[in-house]
Chain A
Amino acid sequence: MNAFHLLSELTVFVLAVFVGLEVISKVPATLHTPLMSATNAIHGIVLVGALLIAVVAEPKLGPVLSVLVVFLASLNVFGGYVVTQRMLAMFKPRQTPAQANAAADGAKK
């Protein structure tokens, strides 16, 4: 890696921040909690990094900490996505009371 490489990475970072601000500012307040848990899951991408440092001949952190780092990152990914999906499933458009009751009954089953 050299200064040019670092600069091109910085370019990617800065542009991604702007895209992020643009996209996120369109998310309605109603979805802010699922948004947080979704972005939470997205930073679980650090799992890629965790695998890159753990699955090597001699993990620098030793076996125990390497398992821990993969564990933490996967907890983040799987938990984050599942809980987001669960929350988003709750958001329903307006429906007749009959439909609502049917949905509530379905949820109980």
Chain B
Amino acid sequence: MPEVTDGSTAQLLIDFAYLVTGVCFIMGLRYMNTPKTARLGNSISILGMVIALVATGFNLDWSNAWWIALIGLGAGAAVGIYAARAVKMTAMPQMVAIFNGAGGGAAAMVASAEFLKQLGIDGNSVPIDVGITSVLTAIIGAISFTGSIIAFLKLQEVMTGRPIVYPGQQIVNALLALIAIAGLVLVALNVDTVPAFFTAIVAAAILGVLFVLPIGGADMPVIISLLNSFTGLAAALTGFALGNNVLIISGALVGASGTLLTLMMGKAMNRSVTNVLFGAFGAVKKTEGGPAEHTGSGVVRESSVDDVATMLAYARQVIVVPGYGMAVAQAQHSVRELADQLEKKGVEVKYAIHPVAGRMPGHMNVLLAEANVPYPALYDMDDINPEFPRTDVALIIGANDVTNPDARSSPSSPIYGMPILDVDKAQQVVVLKRSMKPGFAGIDNPLYELPNTSMLFGDAKSSIDKLVGAVKGL
């Protein structure tokens, strides 16, 4: 690499280009404040990336290993673009996880290379700032890399989505974290620098695997967001290690975004992030839940397709409450068709989206947008809850815990305090459900036993298709 000395004109121009990139990224995110301008925002962000890459290209001596860049870029672009086009919207969380892991892994490797480059002639000492920032990058990047891979495997159902717990889990995790921190300290003190550095990476990589193992499927929105913020942090730290501002700015933006989303998701489940990470939800539930919690009358009213169709067709306002079950049944297109039919009959149809309705933040919105549901019809929990008392029918499709009134009223319930959609306040509640089996968390839902609730059992997609036919016939 031709060392462009600090202060040269070339370096000034490159640094200026990086500044432009930073501005593009910020503006790009800013334009995501409404769906109308979001695409423009993403294009601005792409422009920023192109500027940064071109500027970097000028800084490189391409007579060196140009083919390394060519093969890496070519393969990365080909696989990335192919995967991005082929992926199903239901599989978006896994896709984001794997891209996230790729970024984290790359950051860890960049930091390792910089660390090796800065090793002194004795092959042991590194400048303290480079040492600390590169080992930190490597630790966080490695956690993000392996953690994202486990999250991917769980979401892709290559391995079980259930929490994997074993005795002493947290002690093992704590030990690994201690080893990584010890590595950091040794690097900072310039003692056995190289072995310390790589021991820290290995410990962090194992920790990444082990900390995602006990996370259940329903907690994935928190973990995906958290891993996102880790990778952002790793990218920013890479910037510190390389002395590169554009990496620092970009990483800081991503870190902020991931952190904010993590907190939002935690709040939507009424759980702290520590509780998600160390609580192993499933295990806790089994001991706390159970028949003793039973608060309802025990009687459920089963309804028929024709009855429900009539109820919907003669309503003024219907609110659809989609849950992950709807996505699993691939029913979103049928749901939109039903909404179209109802709108033809003058019924107002809105969608109530709970923040953790999918497997990642905003997942349900994307699934419905894909099915051509216009975004103004999609409402957040806070905006839609006041609407329920004015609503004739709340149609619940594959959602369970987020509609459980016990979260509001029963302090003994394991989900007590979780913000829910107030569907029980609607005039009529229709629940589409495969069977009376309790939801993911295994908690009874007294909503099903309310006098204004009727159940329509069966596969969500075929039930809705039948409803579409019945509404058409009215």
Q: Which residues of A come within 8 Å of B, CB atoms? A: 1-3, 5-6, 9, 12-14, 16-21, 23-57, 59-61, 63, 65-95, 97, 100, 103-104
- Check A48–B99 contact: CB distance below 8 A: no
Majority DSSP secondary structure for residues of A touching B = helix
Known contacts A36-B360, A44-B103, A63-B68; A51 and B56 CB within 8 A of each other: yes
Q: Is B340 an interface residue (CB 8 A)?
A: yes
Known contacts A42-B253, A57-B64, A90-B366; A73 and B102 CB within 8 A of each other: yes
- Check A88–B42 contact: CB distance below 8 A: yes
- Check A36–B81 contact: CB distance below 8 A: no
Q: Is B244 an interface residue (CB 8 A)?
A: yes
A24, A53, A57, A91: which contacts B260 (Cβ < 8 A)?
A24
How many A-B residue pairs have C-beta atoms within 8 angstroms? Tell me: 404
- Check A13–B252 contact: CB distance below 8 A: yes
- Check B49–A81 contact: CB distance below 8 A: yes
Q: Is B449 an interface residue (CB 8 A)?
A: no
List the B side residues contacting A45 at CB < 8 Å.
Answer: 21, 25, 49, 52, 235, 246-247, 250-251
B227 to chain A, nearest CB (A): 10
- Check A12–B42 contact: CB distance below 8 A: no
- Check B39–A79 contact: CB distance below 8 A: no
- Check B105–A72 contact: CB distance below 8 A: yes
A38 to chain B, nearest CB (A): 6
- Check A97–B344 contact: CB distance below 8 A: yes
Could you list 11 further interchain pairs (A-B, Cβ under 8 angstroms) beyond the known A20-B29, A26-B33, A41-B46? Answer: A1-B243, A20-B254, A24-B256, A24-B257, A28-B35, A37-B95, A39-B258, A40-B228, A43-B235, A59-B68, A85-B39
List the A side residues contacting B85 at CB < 8 Å.
Answer: 82, 86
B60, B100, B244, B380: which contacts A40 (Cβ < 8 A)?
B100
Chain B 140-168: CB-based contact to A (< 8 A → 1; otherwise 0): 00000000000000000000000000000
- Check A48–B246 contact: CB distance below 8 A: yes
Q: CA of A104 to CA of B332 in the docked complex: distance in angstroms?
A: 14
9 residue pairs of the A-B complex, CB under 8 angstroms, read A30-B365, A31-B32, A35-B361, A40-B96, A61-B116, A72-B103, A79-B80, A79-B84, A79-B95
Q: Which residues of B come within 8 Å of A, CB atoms? A: 1, 21-22, 25-26, 28-30, 32-36, 38-39, 41-43, 45-46, 49, 52-53, 56-57, 59-62, 64-66, 68-69, 71-73, 75-77, 79-81, 83-85, 87, 89, 92, 95-96, 99-100, 102-103, 105-107, 109-110, 112-114, 116-117, 127, 129-130, 224-225, 228, 231-232, 234-236, 238-240, 242-258, 260-261, 340, 343-344, 353, 355, 358, 360-363, 365-366, 369-370, 372, 374-378, 380
- Check B60–A16 contact: CB distance below 8 A: no
List the A side residues contacting B114 at CB < 8 Å.
Answer: 49, 53, 60
- Check B366–A74 contact: CB distance below 8 A: no
CB-nearest residue of chain B to A37 = B96
- Check B247–A48 contact: CB distance below 8 A: yes
B38, B99, B228, B243: which contacts A79 (Cβ < 8 A)?
B99
List the A side residues contacting B100 at CB < 8 Å.
Answer: 40, 43, 76
